[in-house]
Structure 1
Amino acid sequence: MTGHTWLWTPPRSTPTSVGVGQLLRAYRQAHGLTQQQLADRLGFDQSYVSKVESGRRAIHDISTLRHIARNLALSPEDVGLAPGSMTDRRRETAPRSPAAEQAAASQRAWRLTRDHLNHHRISLARAAVRLYPETDRLGSGLLARPGWVWDTPVDIDDVTLGWHDSAEAPTIRGDEPETAGSRPLLGGGGQQNRYQRYTRAMRDLDRPTLFENRLSFRLLDIGGDGTAGPSTDNHPSLSFAHTTYFDAVDVCETVAHETAAAMAGSGLSWPALPFRARIGDPFDFTRRAALPSINTLTIRHDRGGQASFFLHRRSAGSVATAGGVYHVIPAGVFQPSGITPFHHEADFDLWRNIMRELSEELLGNPEHDGSSSSPIDYDTDEPFRSFEQARRSGAMRVSYFGIGLDALTLFGEILTVVVVDADAFDRLFGSMVQTNAEGSVVTAGPNRSVTEGIPFTHSALRRLVDTEPIAPSAAACLELAWRHRETLLGMRMRAAS
């Protein structure tokens, strides 16, 4: 349950609040376009764009707003439409062929299932986890093998990363016959003319704002037995190779889509989940591109023994996965900031990925999206230099809990926590943003400062995990942090609020 004294999500600071005209101007300036070039992209007259930008012409027609959003790859919210309203419901005046009608119906059904998926990811994950043996479950929505989660938090520097240049290509790609039910028909051509990839359907039918096929790190193997000790050969180890973001999404969102369709139909059962059955053992990373996200619970800890944590409400219109849920902040796919060997060498590091996400999601800095040919200099570039200084001084402590798989999507979930002393937190994140490109930061009430966070108490944790739509990996981070609160905070926290 949510109330005015519980979780509150501020309205997102999007160009919608200042009108479509300023949105078009901001988009044009950000992309270096002239009014004529923007008009050409939209199929409008240049004078019309000029009038809209100047405020002399308002746009109230929903179909025109949908047209702008589609052609500029914006979310419905950005142009003032409700989420999920991109489908044009105008009547067709010209008759369509039976094949075209069939394709349109297939795409409408796909959109409805996609919408159901984005509104029920938590309940679907909790149902999907029950498909697997109890020994493979971690919490209410994650899967994990014994030893994947460690019995005590491990310093992030003690996690060994290995690399394999010659990893075999995955055999499961998301275009198998079992995925046909999750890939809608294209216009005309009958049952065989389907979208070949789930990401292609997303691009055309439900494109989120952040949707780029970036080079990423593919998880191959997980080492260590989960028991931390003085022996240096018993540290966690993770092995990787290259993949791309879409390679993982084509499998993960397809299996999630199939699950949503089954749940909305006859219910979850293995006969209704042919693609999940085709994947088989979810822990076999040789068969599919297993791409992990790094999920980091951020805790502010003050001298009086009080602590608070931070949550993110991810926008389903902005992100391709885990939209519409509460999540820890920051959270992001493990990937380099560019495609060159220099980027790979600099960014193949868990802590540096966490730093980039802290910069983007808490401070609102532009995403390091690979558009620069120069790698980040983590020793001199801000805010990374200050983050590293705080960590070396002990004011910022970063720990690894372990790894799991989201039961709904089978995405990898690296579970981490960063504890920051209050003085250092206020110095580093005093300008923390309320909204960012992926969603909004959550507070404990509408009149609370975003930097206060949510009290790190057992009652708040249980209320959140038991009653709110929180991502399974975020719930796991919170519960593990509470279990190890004495180790993480250097003191015993009270079990009640």
Structure 2
Amino acid sequence: MTGQTWLWTPPPPSPVPVGVGQLLRAYRQAHGLTQQQLADQLGFDQSYVSKVESGRRAIHDISTLRHIARHLELAPEDVGLAPGTLAERRREPGRDSLSEQATASQRGWRVTRDTLNRNRIRLAKAAAGLYPEAYRLCPGLLTRPGWIWPQPLDISEVGLRWADEVPEPAITGGEPETDGARPLIADGGPYVRYQRYTRAMRDLDRPTLFENRLSFRLVDIARDDASPALTGQPADGGRPLLSFGHTTYFDAVDVCETVAHETAAAMMSSGLSWPALPFRRRIGDPFDLAARPVLPSINTLTIRVDRGAASFLLHRRSAGSVATAGGVYHVIPAGVFQPSGITPVHHRADFDLWRNIMRELSEELLGNTEHDGNSSTPIDYAADEPFRAFDEARRDGRIRVSCFGVGIDALTLFSEILTVVVIEADTFDGMFAEMVHSNAEGSVVSAGPNRAVAEGIPFTYATLRRLIDGEPLAPAAAACLELAWRHRELLLPGLRLRAAS
């Protein structure tokens, strides 16, 4: 492919340097302080803090920068100083070795988290090697027998069951085995650690999108024996049945990112082995959904079909924006399974896989932030656009939505519902004429700088192999592509797509 541009994303806007003003604002927000309270803590005037935060006043004086770093217990480099420039600082009343240990602990945590975010795909592939080969669906993704259907099913054939009474998970992320992933708190007394990994993320490495919202907790995957056998399925098996209860986003992240953090730390030191992974050992069976809060992500491969050819959409997720799966290529849309609000009305309306996919299409492809799950008013799927048009096109057969099954990300142990939506070209072009180039989670990928993002990436065997084998592609995305190619004759009837020349 010499001379051709491979995956291309639009360049981000010129970054504004992270100055002391932004740092002070972030510190205030993380600690719930007003400008006056921060000014009192630093011994400054409130108007001075206001000018620094707004960028109207720059701080170049080294002694002032040292003063800010010392009183906010920040690393020197956080305020633009060279590492170690505070080493000679005068000890103040109450400041002792415990505070220094906490600072070192937090700095080490940041380094490990940065390593995690820069190496998620490599770590996922390595973590998959810890489990028997029979459980590996594709690089970095695990599954167990019966969780991937013999052929993709229409999304309506996947049953959902609600359970009001679900036992509390035994694993929460606060176990003693997680101490290595939870840093010390500077003002918490002798050896007090953050109780939750998400609390450390909030204070030390907060992504742009970080809200603790009510979510649907996956607790079981079974067969509905009361339903008739489905076409192409074993004669003695009914439709797949996924059982759910309630959880929150942070409950799931506290476990998933902690086990991922532990994996990165092990890789940085002695390498991956079960003795180096006490929390992963404590979790045990990755397919025991009731043992930990499991929040599934619905990952949807979007395929556009046009006159004997097909293309698919790809997303480059920003590590600074999302809490998980940042810095990788992913299918679009992808999002956790949760209602769009907290009321019982939201719950009843949104406990549906297709409606969750529709909301993600609206948010990630059209940029409709009112459909991102923060709405106080329930969505009227029969009347509100673009949902009315999505549903009409699906009823007419211009949109086909299928589910492959469920996997487990080997790095985070996050559960992944694998789906695909196939859209006829005319329908796609009409619905997504205003498709965005970027959204709150990252940028949509095109096949070159002069190609429209709506054209997508060619759905060919060579493209899939190059992506899966050579790019930082999320394991769930790789599984969606592999399964779509395996079942291409069923998903894309009439298209002659060859595996290799």
Shorter-chain TM-score: what band? 0.7 to 0.9
- The answer (yes or no) to whether the contact 1:12–1:439 under 8 Å persists in 2 is no
- The answer (yes or no) to whether the contact 1:150–1:228 under 8 Å persists in 2 is no
CA gap 1:11/1:86 in 2 versus in 1, 3 angstroms = farther
Alignment of 1:127-206 (within 5 A): 127-188=126-187, 192-206=191-205
- The answer (yes or no) to whether the contact 2:363–2:372 under 8 Å persists in 1 is no
CA gap 1:274/1:365 in 2 versus in 1, 3 angstroms = same
Cα distance in 2, alignment partners of residues 228 and 105 from structure 1: 59
Q: Deviations over 1:228-247 (max 9, x none)?
A: 53769621210000000111
Gap regions ≥5 residues in structure 2: 40-44
- From 73, 85, 88, the counterpart of 1:91: 85
Q: Which amino acid in 2 is paired with 1:464?
A: L
- From 431, 441, 447, the counterpart of 1:444: 447
Which residue number in structure 2 is paired with residue 75 of structure 1?
none
- The answer (yes or no) to whether the contact 1:148–1:404 under 8 Å persists in 2 is yes
Q: Deviations over 1:153-200 (max 9, x none)?
A: 100011100010000000100000000000000115566300001001
* 1:237 matched to 2:236: no
Q: Which amino acid in 2 is paired with 1:229?
A: G
Q: Which amino acid in 2 is paired with 1:205?
A: L
Q: Which amino acid in 2 is paired with 1:179?
A: T
Report SS of the residue matched to 2:245: strand
Q: Give the structure-1-normalised TM-score.
A: 0.86
Report SS of the residue matched to 2:129: helix
Cα distance in 1, alignment partners of residues 53 and 276 from structure 2: 50
CA gap 1:59/1:190 in 2 versus in 1, 3 angstroms = closer
Cα distance in 2, alignment partners of residues 174 and 3 from structure 1: 49
Report SS of the residue matched to 1:224: strand
* 1:294 matched to 2:298: yes
Which residue number in structure 1 is paired with residue 101 of structure 2?
102
Number of equivalent positions? 465
Q: Which amino acid in 1 is paired with 2:475?
A: P
CA gap 1:369/1:387 in 2 versus in 1, 3 angstroms = closer
Cα distance in 2, alignment partners of residues 155 and 13 from structure 1: 40
Which residue number in structure 2 is paired with residue 11 of structure 1?
11
Which residue number in structure 1 is paired with residue 477 of structure 2?
474
Q: CA deviation at 1:90?
A: 7.6
Runs ≥4 in structure 1, deviation > 2 angstroms?
A: 1-4, 11-14, 16-20, 37-53, 55-64, 84-96, 188-192, 224-233, 367-373, 494-497
Which residue number in structure 1 is paired with residue 369 of structure 2?
366
Q: Deviations over 1:90-122 (max 9, x none)?
A: 833443421111000000100000000000000
Which residue number in structure 2 is paired with residue 263 of structure 1?
267
Which structure would you say has the larger Rg? 2
- The answer (yes or no) to whether the contact 1:148–1:224 under 8 Å persists in 2 is no
Cα distance in 1, alignment partners of residues 9 and 173 from structure 2: 35
* 1:419 matched to 2:435: no
Q: CA deviation at 1:137?
A: 1.2
* 1:453 matched to 2:456: yes
Which residue number in structure 2 is paired with residue 218 of structure 1?
217
Q: Give the structure-2-normalised TM-score.
A: 0.85
CA gap 1:334/1:41 in 2 versus in 1, 3 angstroms = farther
Which residue number in structure 2 is paired with residue 112 of structure 1?
111
CA gap 1:448/1:388 in 2 versus in 1, 3 angstroms = same
Gap regions ≥5 residues in structure 1: 32-36, 72-83
User: CA-atom RMSD, angstroms?
Assistant: 3.3
Which residue number in structure 2 is paired with residue 78 of structure 1?
none
Q: CA deviation at 1:347?
A: 0.3
Report SS of the residue matched to 1:236: strand
- From 321, 324, 328, the counterpart of 1:325: 328
Q: CA deviation at 1:430?
A: 1.3
Cα distance in 1, alignment partners of residues 4 and 186 from structure 2: 47
- The answer (yes or no) to whether the contact 1:295–1:331 under 8 Å persists in 2 is yes
Q: Deviations over 1:110-159 (max 9, x none)?
A: 00000000000001000001111111111111111111111111000111
Which residue number in structure 2 is paired with residue 484 of structure 1?
487
- The answer (yes or no) to whether the contact 1:228–1:234 under 8 Å persists in 2 is no
Q: CA deviation at 1:373?
A: 2.7
Cα distance in 2, alignment partners of residues 12 and 208 from structure 1: 17
Q: CA deviation at 1:87?
A: 9.2
* 1:353 matched to 2:356: yes
CA gap 1:139/1:51 in 2 versus in 1, 3 angstroms = closer
| Identity level (%) | 67
Report SS of the residue matched to 1:317: coil
